[in-house]
């Protein structure tokens, strides 16, 4: 007999003889959350052919749905449901078959799912559908039965057609351990990953339109499964894909080892030894103190949060690593999370170097569906056995099953990418807090430039702060200098003459420089000289960016692109003038200006689209194969290059004018981080910030690296204008297709309803006004800014608003709590 190991909680206990029956009856009703549409949670009868003890919450099961009995995979949400919770007059269907012997998910995991569901106002099944890897939510499994003669393979459909007597026989085999659950038939199209193997321009004839389309698609979307590509481009893309694969321009198949290893840092074994020895240092006194404060938080009887506020280069990583080891030694799991894949890999590598042999797992989004599934299953098994693990990863690693979580570390906690907007919207900090609260663990937030809300919480006494105020090894923070580029005389580049001189001096001395320009592509605007118009995206009405290597104009919001040059959409003219400068152009300009033999590398979304490229570029720069690294905000984060003595911010004003209440905070964080790249070795560093607005108040704080001064100023501004942390902020986003004539009327009608319920509930409602990006992917967009004292009233208001819009309406609305992306 198979026991599930965990008792299901009956809803009530009754003892008298007569009512005992009622209880047994109750125990045979379960609720199941479907992991595929319609995602509802439905009641089912337990079938009599399997023993009662094997069913319990968290077990994955197959259930029939609707009149036709279509099979769906679901998770038992609760056992022993009272019959009065079942709608009257409904005859319950029976669960068809379990999909596993022991439940995949534990009670704590289910509780997290329920909480997310409440918060997102979607059914728990939909949350499970988003969190579990595809193979684990499929009803496509088969059973292999080994009982006398040759093994038989059964599909669930076959079981559905069986007579009860046959099911009883199967059940006896199941209980005797003679049945094996086979994974869903591996779908090659799902496991084949496609990606381009070379940077554009590609050697493809202009007439081969379909091939170009495939290449452009893969370039824009990065590595994707063949299934997704065929879904997006249509099955007609199969032939050009194969042609491109034959020509070696596209890779189709599992990612090969070198590429799958996103950590393939390219360090050869000599470097490896050096890197290893570099990790053998002892913690400084300040680091020791910080570590103790963190381990105390782990050991305390309640869940705790700590802010590790340490300047750039103060050695926060070593504190995280020692904390992780301390947790594992106590039998507790730990998660080290970074805002992006490359940084997560770096954390993972640091763990391996410092503590070879520690049970560490790297979790990132480049794995195939099959690998993700295996990882989830392995971790679930280890969690059941209570074995602790260390997980290094990005935000989605938070949803892996682990046993007794001792600590979660969010490095660079201020980073916007800890908030996910697509599909399932969540803030990693909240999920992390929820998870450590369950296990009474510790949440450690680390940053040199904490989120204003986090620091406010420290100031208010809600969470202790730990300070690391010096660079390890006594390195000093770089000197910061402003360069006014308002009247820049040099027209071919954004770099002022004195900035250029400093760059040249630096590389001539044999040192390195990083140059931040947070704008990718060659030129952000393309003017038609014949009619004076700017090339715009037909779907978004936004100016198209010129990408020279790709020979295309590209919309940075929806990915739409057109070959360049092609005739002007307005006047059919063919004379163009590119305006402004992006990273691609800056790289080109600098290469022509540098002393002979000095090279430039570029790090942005375009140069890192192919798997493994980012690591190659960073490694090449670390090996000093180039003197200059030009890049977008990607290069400001976390990387450690000891030979960099100059950091240049080419356009300090880019972020300041964004329509976002955090524009200054973001700029401050980005620039302090970027400045932190300089002078991390023995030689002192310096920083140049170019701006057209040298009088802006934020420069002084950046120059003095005065986080707290900046914080005070910013907080005052937010208090005055009623922004977080003083209110709860949310956005209702509305959109409708551009060609829908009734759209505007519907928005107006909804607006008055929302404002009315806002008055009733005490929520202040701004708008709806056109969004800063008023058109995106062919839809007109509006947004309503909500301010309230708690989240609940905001949810109530949204619920009321949603009630007024029929499901069939072409008006889409969604709620974004604490929005990070205000566009
Ligand atoms: P932060 O994340 O705070 O910016 P890092 O953790 O990247 O700083 O540390 C900066 C550098 O200092 C790293 O190369 C790290 O290996 C090194 N380092 C950290 N702690 C020590 C120490 N106690 N002794 C020597 N080197 C250290
Ligand atoms: Zn567009």
**Helical packing angle, 124-131 and 107-120, nearest 10°:** 110
Residue 257 — very low, low, confident or very high, per pLDDT cuts 50/70/90?
very low
Domain boundaries, the chain: 13-182, 188-254, 269-464, 476-520+582-717, 525-579, 728-817
Any atom of ligand 1 within 6 Å of the Cβ of 313: yes
Question: Ligand 1 mean position to 609 CA, how many Å?
Answer: 29
128 close to 136: Cβ distance less than 8 angstroms:
no
Among residues 181, 166, 239, the alpha carbon closest in space to that of 208 is found at 239
**Paired tokens of 804:** 């007024």
What confidence tens digit (pLDDT) does each residue in 61-90 have? Answer: 999 998 888 999 999 999 887 777 777 777
Alpha helices in 772-816 (DSSP H): 791-803
Among residues 241, 141, 273, 200, the alpha carbon closest in space to that of 547 is found at 200
- Please, what is the end-to-end C-alpha distance for the chain in angstroms? 57
Q: Which of the pair, 216 or 188, is modelled with greater confidence?
A: 216
**Paired tokens of 48:** 């009599």
pLDDT at position 279 = 65
Which numbered atom of ligand 1 lies nearest the CA of 314? Answer: 3
CA 715/CA 721 separation, integer angstroms: 10
Mean pLDDT of 583-600: 92
SS3 at position 494: coil
CA 55/CA 6 separation, integer angstroms: 10
Burial of 432 (0-12, 13-18, 19+ CB in 10 A): buried
CATH 3.20.20.80 for domain 13-182: no
2: pLDDT strictly greater than 50: no
Q: Which ligand is nearest to the CA of 553?
A: 2
- Cα→Cα distances 750→450, 734, 738, 771, 814, Å: 38, 10, 18, 16, 13
Q: Which ligand is nearest to the CA of 554?
A: 2
SS3 at position 742: coil
Mean pLDDT of 163-169: 92
130 close to 424: Cβ distance less than 8 angstroms:
yes
Any atom of ligand 1 within 6 Å of the Cβ of 446: no
5: pLDDT strictly greater than 60: no
Residue positions counted in the chain: 823
Question: Ligand 1 mean position to 287 CA, how many Å?
Answer: 10
Mean pLDDT of 306-316: 93
27 close to 52: Cβ distance less than 8 angstroms:
yes
73 close to 23: Cβ distance less than 8 angstroms:
no
253: pLDDT strictly greater than 90: no
At the top level of CATH, which class does the domain 728-817 belong to? alpha beta
Any atom of ligand 1 within 6 Å of the Cβ of 291: no
Q: Which of 317, 409, 446, 466 to mutate to test the pocket of ligand 1 (most atoms within 8 A of CB)?
A: 317
Q: Which residues contact 346 (CB under 8 A, 6 or more apart)?
A: 338, 638, 639
Question: Ligand 1 mean position to 468 CA, how many Å?
Answer: 11
Q: Which protein residue's CA is at the shortest distance from atom 18 of ligand 1?
A: 315
Q: What residues form the annotated binding site for Zn(2+)?
A: 528, 531, 537, 540, 555, 558, 568, 571
Give the chain's mean pLDDT. 87
Q: Which of the pair, 458 or 222, is modelled with greater confidence?
A: 458
**Cis peptide bond N-terminal to 353, omega within 30:** no
Same-fold call for 269-464 versus 476-520+582-717: yes
Question: Ligand 2 mean position to 632 CA, how many Å?
Answer: 21
- At the topology level of CATH, where does 269-464 sit? Rossmann fold (3.40.50)
Question: Ligand 2 mean position to 530 CA, how many Å?
Answer: 23
Question: Ligand 1 mean position to 473 CA, how many Å?
Answer: 9
How many CA within 13 A on the CB side of residue 53?
7
CATH homologous superfamily for 476-520+582-717? Answer: P-loop containing nucleotide triphosphate hydrolases (3.40.50.300)
Beta strands 686-691; 479-484: pairing state: parallel
Mean pLDDT of 559-573: 89
Which numbered atom of ligand 1 lies nearest the CA of 317? Answer: 6
Q: Which residues contact 461 (CB under 8 A, 6 or more apart)?
A: none
**Paired tokens of 510:** 């044999």
Any atom of ligand 1 within 6 Å of the Cβ of 314: yes
pLDDT at position 73 = 95
Any atom of ligand 1 within 6 Å of the Cβ of 317: yes
Mean pLDDT of 511-536: 92
Any atom of ligand 1 within 6 Å of the Cβ of 791: no
270: pLDDT strictly greater than 90: no
Burial of 476 (0-12, 13-18, 19+ CB in 10 A): exposed
Q: Which protein residue's CA is at the shortest distance from atom 17 of ligand 1?
A: 315
At the top level of CATH, which class does the domain 188-254 belong to? mainly alpha
Q: Which residues contact 730 (CB under 8 A, 6 or more apart)?
A: 785, 786, 788, 791, 794, 798, 815, 816, 817, 818, 819
CA 728/CA 745 separation, integer angstroms: 29
CA 101/CA 59 separation, integer angstroms: 8
Q: Which ligand is nearest to the CA of 467?
A: 1
Q: Which ligand is nearest to the CA of 285?
A: 1
Question: Ligand 2 mean position to 653 CA, how many Å?
Answer: 24
Any atom of ligand 1 within 6 Å of the Cβ of 281: yes
Any atom of ligand 1 within 6 Å of the Cβ of 639: no
Any atom of ligand 1 within 6 Å of the Cβ of 318: yes
41 close to 113: Cβ distance less than 8 angstroms:
no
pLDDT at position 541 = 82
What confidence tens digit (pLDDT) does each residue in 616-665 have? Answer: 898 899 999 999 999 998 888 767 788 899 999 999 998 888 888 899 99
- DSSP letters for 406-424: EEEEEETTT-GGGEE-SSS
Any atom of ligand 1 within 6 Å of the Cβ of 312: yes
What confidence tens digit (pLDDT) does each residue in 694-713 have? Answer: 999 999 999 888 999 999 99
Identify the residue whose tokens are 């189709």.
Answer: 252
């Amino acid at each position: 007999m198979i026991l599930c190991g965990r008792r299901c909680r009956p809803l009530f206990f009754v003892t008298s003889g007569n009512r005992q029956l009622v209880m047994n009856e109750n125990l045979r009703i379960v609720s199941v959350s479907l992991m595929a549409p319609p995602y509802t949670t439905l009641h089912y009868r337990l079938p009599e052919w399997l023993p009662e003890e094997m069913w319990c919450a968290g077990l994955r099961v197959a259930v029939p749905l609707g009149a036709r009995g279509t099979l769906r995979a679901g998770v038992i949400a609760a056992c022993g449901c009272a019959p009065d919770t079942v709608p009257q007059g409904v005859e319950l269907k029976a669960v068809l078959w379990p999909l596993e012997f022991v439940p995949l998910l534990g009670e704590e995991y289910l509780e997290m799912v329920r909480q997310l569901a409440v918060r997102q106002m979607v059914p728990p099944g939909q949350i499970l559908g988003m969190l579990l890897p595809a193979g684990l939510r499929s009803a496509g499994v088969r059973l292999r039965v080994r009982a006398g003669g040759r093994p038989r393979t059964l599909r669930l459909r076959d079981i559905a057609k069986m007579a009860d007597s046959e099911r009883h026989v199967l059940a006896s085999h199941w209980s005797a351990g003679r049945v094996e659950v086979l994974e869903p038939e591996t779908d090659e199209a799902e496991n084949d990953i496609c990606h381009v193997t070379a940077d554009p321009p590609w050697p493809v004839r202009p007439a081969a339109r379909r091939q170009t389309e495939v290449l452009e698609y893969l370039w824009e979307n990065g590595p994707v499964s063949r299934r997704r590509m065929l879904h997006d481009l249509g099955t007609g893309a199969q032939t050009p894909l194969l042609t491109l694969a034959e020509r070696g321009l596209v890779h189709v198949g599992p990612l090969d080892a070198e590429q799958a290893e996103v950590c393939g840092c390219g360090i050869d074994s000599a470097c490896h030894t050096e890197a290893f020895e570099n990790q053998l240092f002892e913690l400084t006194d300040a680091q020791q103190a910080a570590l103790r404060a963190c381990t105390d938080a782990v050991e305390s009887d309640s869940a705790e949060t700590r802010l590790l506020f340490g300047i750039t280069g103060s050695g926060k990583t070593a504190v995280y690593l020692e904390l992780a080891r301390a947790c594992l030694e106590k039998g507790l799991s730990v998660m080290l999370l970074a805002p992006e894949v490359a940084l997560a890999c770096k954390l993972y590598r640091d763990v391996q170097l410092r503590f070879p042999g520690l049970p560490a797992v790297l979790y990132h989004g480049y794995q195939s569906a099959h690998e993700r599934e295996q990882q989830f299953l392995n971790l679930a098994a280890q969690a059941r056995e209570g074995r602790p693990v260390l997980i290094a990863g990005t935000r989605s690693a938070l949803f892996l099953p682990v046993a007794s979580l001792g600590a979660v570390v969010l490095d660079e906690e201020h980073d916007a990418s800890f908030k996910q907007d697509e599909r399932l919207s969540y803030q990693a900090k909240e999920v992390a807090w929820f998870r450590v609260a369950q296990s009474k663990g510790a949440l450690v937030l680390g940053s040199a430039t904490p989120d204003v809300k986090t620091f406010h919480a420290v100031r208010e006494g809600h969470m202790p702060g730990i300070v690391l105020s010096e660079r390890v090894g006594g390195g000093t923070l770089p000197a910061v200098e402003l360069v006014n580029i308002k009247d820049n005389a040099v027209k071919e580049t954004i770099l002022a003459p004195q900035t250029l001189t400093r760059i040249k001096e630096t590389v001539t001395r044999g040192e390195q420089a990083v140059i931040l320009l947070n704008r990718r592509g060659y030129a952000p605007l393309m003017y038609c000289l014949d009619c004076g118009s700017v090339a715009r995206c037909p779907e978004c009405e936004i100016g198209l960016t010129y990408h020279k290597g790709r020979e295309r104009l590209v919309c940075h919001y929806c990915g739409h692109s057109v070959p360049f040059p092609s005739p002007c959409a307005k006047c059919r003219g063919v004379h163009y003038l590119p305006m402004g400068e992006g990273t691609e152009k800056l790289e080109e300009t600098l290469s022509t200006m540098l002393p002979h033999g000095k090279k430039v590398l570029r790090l942005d979304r375009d140069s890192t689209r192919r798997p493994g490229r980012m690591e190659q570029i960073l490694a090449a720069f670390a090996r000093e194969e180039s003197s200059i690294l030009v890049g977008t905000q990607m290069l400001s984060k976390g990387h450690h290059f000891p030979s960099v003595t100059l950091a240049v911010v080419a356009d300090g004003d880019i972020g300041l004018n964004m329509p976002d209440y955090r524009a200054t905070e973001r700029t401050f964080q980005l620039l302090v981080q970027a400045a932190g790249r300089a002078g991390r070795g023995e030689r002192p560093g310096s920083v140049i910030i170019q701006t057209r607005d040298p009088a802006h108040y934020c420069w002084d704080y950046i120059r003095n690296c005065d986080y707290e001064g900046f914080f005070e100023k910013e907080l005052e501004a937010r208090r005055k204008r009623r922004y977080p942390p003083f209110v709860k902020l949310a956005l209702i986003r509305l959109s409708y297709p551009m060609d829908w004539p009734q759209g505007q009327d519907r928005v107006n009608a909804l607006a008055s309803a929302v404002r009315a319920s806002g008055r009733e509930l005490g929520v202040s409602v701004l708008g709806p006004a056109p969004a800063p990006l008023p058109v995106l992917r062919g839809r007109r967009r509006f947004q309503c800014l909500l301010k309230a004292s708690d989240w609940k009233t905001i949810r109530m208001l949204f619920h009321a608003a949603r009630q007024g819009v029929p499901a069939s309406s072409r008006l889409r609305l969604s709620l974004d709590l604490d929005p990070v992306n205000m566009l």
